[in-house]
Amino acid sequence: MTVYRELNTPLRTIMTPGPVEADPRVLRAMSTPILGQFDPAFTQIMNETMDMLRQVFQTKNHWAFPIDGTSRSGLEAVLTSVVAPGDKVLIPIFGRFGHLLTEIAERNGAQIHTIETEWGQVFDQDEIIEALERVKPKVLAIVHGETSTGCMQPLDKVGKACREMGIISIVDAVATIAGTEVKVDEWQLDAVIGGTQKCFSVPSGMAPITYNERVEKILSSRKKVERGVRTAEDAVDVLHPIQSNYFDLSQLQDYWGPRRLNHHTEATSMLYALREGARVVLEEGLEARFARHRLHEKAIMEGVKAMGLTLFNDVPWKLPMVTCVNIPEGIDGEAVRSMLLEQFGIEIASSFGPLHGKIWRIGAMGYSCRKENVFAVLAGLEAALIRNGAVVQRGEALQAALNVYETAAAEKVMM
């Protein structure tokens, strides 16, 4: 019989686009004693979490709650609940996760219409609006922050255009929520999906979402409560019921709302984690948190460039939390990543599709977005590059990052 030792994972400095290091306060919250899911003390925690999520999403929407599962579960829940067979869905693709939205919508029987641009680019919003006018879809599904390319799609005009045309806008904000502006109400977005394992600094396992009454109206028209819990009032036949039981937002509303209709067993410890993660975000303040991400982003960018490397996403539409670095000619990118992990305990990411083997992606999200982590990744990357035969400007990366921090500190004092 095999005897297994107590779990003892290595300590890592995680500088990927997700998952990131969990905030210690979140980890402490996860050790909170378990409560029953209908215990008044627990339903109070549910209500507090919803209230805090509204603030993080910058919305007055009634519905703001997590889906139990990774961030992909949130995408599945919203798309599966809104998109019925035969519905037209327009998806602008500028990286890996636009293809994921396409896959999910296809599996729900949608008529798919896509527009595509080169990985590393984003769309002019007028181009998306023109496609909306041409296709006349029921739904626009679009990624806000594309971690595969380190790029961020502007949305302020697109949401307004969808509202004027009667189109439902569904936005993947998994990489951006709690790290940069996601103005749900101001941008007139109908449904927005986040994730816990990025800027919330919470382990992967929940997907905070929010949606408005335009979406709720669609859910009501497709609602079918499962037989084991429904009442006579619930027994209504609908033409296109939501195909998933687990990802049925109409039933989840009854679970998260005052009715507390049993749907699934809540992921208790993960909800504790999300509540604490949202509390920490609001305690820091959204503007201060966004500014912190921009500061450490600048330090990473300046350090990488001072080393003599070039950036793939040094563009106005750069995603603030992900810096993409071109792998130098003749250098084995995976050998450098492996040395970083094995010798320094630092993890950075490669990429996908046409960018696989061409760039590294350095994330600075949530709790991982700290000065000591920035210094560590710059120093480790420089050492690993030298060890693998690259020619770099030795010692310049840390000096450039120090300049960024000293300048920021001086400006703060002068203010």
Residue-level pLDDT at 253: 97
Residue-level pLDDT at 297: 98
DSSP string computed for 71-106: HHHHHHHHHHHHPPTT-EEEEEESSHHHHHHHHHHH
* CB-neighbour burial class of residue 33 (10 A; exposed 0-12, middle 13-18, buried 19+): exposed
Chain position carrying tokens 């609001």: 282
Average pLDDT of adjacent 10-residue blocks, the chain of 415 residues? 94 97 98 97 98 98 98 98 98 98 98 98 98 98 98 98 98 98 98 98 98 97 92 84 96 96 95 98 98 98 98 98 98 98 98 96 98 98 98 97 97 73
Residue 208 DSSP label: E
User: Tokens standing for 260?
Assistant: 């507390």
Look up residue 80 and give its amino acid. T
Residue 188 DSSP label: T
> Could you give the count of Cα atoms lying within 13 Å of 290 in the half-sphere of its Cβ?
12
Residue-level pLDDT at 413: 73
Query: Per residue in 35-68, pLDDT tens?
Result: 999 999 999 999 999 999 999 999 999 999 999 9
Q: What are the sequence ranges of the domains in the chain?
A: 23-282, 286-414
Residue-level pLDDT at 233: 84
Is there a shared CATH topology between the 23-282 domain and the 286-414 domain? no
C-alpha torsion angle, residues 117, 118, 122, 124 (rounded to 10): -50
What's the whole-model pTM score? 0.97
Residue-level pLDDT at 235: 75
Q: Which fold has domain 286-414?
A: Aspartate Aminotransferase, domain 1 (3.90.1150)
Residue 112 DSSP label: E
Neighbours of 112 (CB within 10 A): 16
* CB-neighbour burial class of residue 150 (10 A; exposed 0-12, middle 13-18, buried 19+): buried
Neighbours of 213 (CB within 10 A): 12
Q: For domain 23-282, which architecture applies?
A: 3-Layer(aba) Sandwich (3.40)
